[in-house]
Amino acid sequence: DKVQELKKISQQPVSLESPIGEEEDSHLGDFVEDKQAIAPLEAASEAMFRNEVEDILATLRPRERRVVQLRFGLVDDEPRTLEEVGRRMGLTRERIRQIEATALRKLRHPSRSKVLRDYTEDRGEPARMGSRDTEAVS
């Protein structure tokens, strides 16, 4: 009888808002890990990295910065092709490729890339900003 009763209880849904403890100042949800949530340390590191990227991009000319942002999806997480960037900026695909190449060459300079290299090396990833095949995106 007891076993059946316990089985029945264990199958009933319980609200995450259910009070826990004698003072009922805690809720069940306070103790359940959210697997979707980003860890605070990871979120802080990500925010710092994004700030560093923005600071480095600010050293580029406005047109170069815009091309890099659009090509690599730095504004809306949606990378765009040379053609799409060209249409958006009123330039040819070839001109966008040239601007991107100039910007990436500047970003690879040690004075700019060292900061980002530190982040990628900490994560065990290769430190190669802009060295991917940019035509593969288009």
pLDDT tens, position by position, 1-50: 788 877 777 777 778 788 887 777 888 777 777 788 888 888 888 888 88
What six digits make up the tokens of 72? 């690599």
What domains appear along the chain, each with residue ranges and CATH number?
Answer: 40-136 (1.10.10.10)
Tell me the pTM.
Answer: 0.60
What pLDDT does residue 123 have? 55
Going by pLDDT thresholds of 50, 70 and 90, the confidence category of residue 122 is: low
Tokens 């995106």 -> residue: 137
Mean pLDDT of 69-92: 96
Residue 132 phi, psi dihedral angles, 5° rounding: -70, 165
Residue 46 CA to residue 39 CA, distance in Å, equals 10
Going by pLDDT thresholds of 50, 70 and 90, the confidence category of residue 102 is: very high
Residue 86 CA to residue 133 CA, distance in Å, equals 18
What pLDDT does residue 137 have? 42
